[in-house]
Amino acid sequence: MQISELARRTSVSVHALRHYESQGLLQPERRPNGYRDYAEGSEREVVFIAMSRQLGFALPRIAEHLADFRSGRLTIAAMVQALQQRAQELADQAAVLQAQRQKVLEHMAWLQARAPSSPSSPPSASSPAAPWPRVRRRVAGLPSSSHRSSP
């Protein structure tokens, strides 16, 4: 089948299919006229790749499992393990983002506490100098002055 037919059947764009091919995930035959000719089993592989991408798996990681998927050796246990790892990666990313969000809110509060009462007036020189919010975390066992010397 031609690339346009595979794209239609799988709801994956022609551009994405060409990208998967360039990354070595798909290997269509070539007709004498140079057109790609995908085997019927390609549809199943493209759906596997597309579903994996929806879950956030990178193409190199998908490639690791694709050979087993093609041969029918990809077990449910292996898929569950990969999904557990992905879920943990997402939890780790969420924790990093939550910590970053908290830091943004702290900086925003620090700035708002120093805002003049009138939006058009500049902060007065007589306003008390407050320390800047912490930029680096303190490392346990190290004196806090060791962190202030580096940018």
CB 139 within 8 A of CB 147: yes
Residue 6 has pLDDT above 90, yes or no: yes
Alpha-carbon distance of 12 to 47, in angstroms, equals: 8
Q: Which residue has the tokens 């009138």?
A: 118
Residue 7 half-sphere exposure, CB side, CA atoms within 13 Å?
12
pLDDT on residue 149: 43
What is the arithmetic mean of pLDDT over 61-67?
93
- The β-bridge relationship of strands 36-37 and 29-30 is antiparallel
CB 75 within 8 A of CB 63: no
Q: What is the pLDDT of residues 72-128, one digit of tens each?
A: 999 999 999 999 999 999 999 999 999 999 999 999 998 998 887 666 655 555 555
- What mean pLDDT, rounded, does the chain reach? 86
What is the arithmetic mean of pLDDT over 32-41?
92
pLDDT on residue 41: 87
pLDDT on residue 148: 45
Single pTM value for the model: 0.69
Residue 65 has pLDDT above 90, yes or no: yes
Measure Cα distances from 132 to 5, 97, 99 in Å. Answer: 60, 22, 18
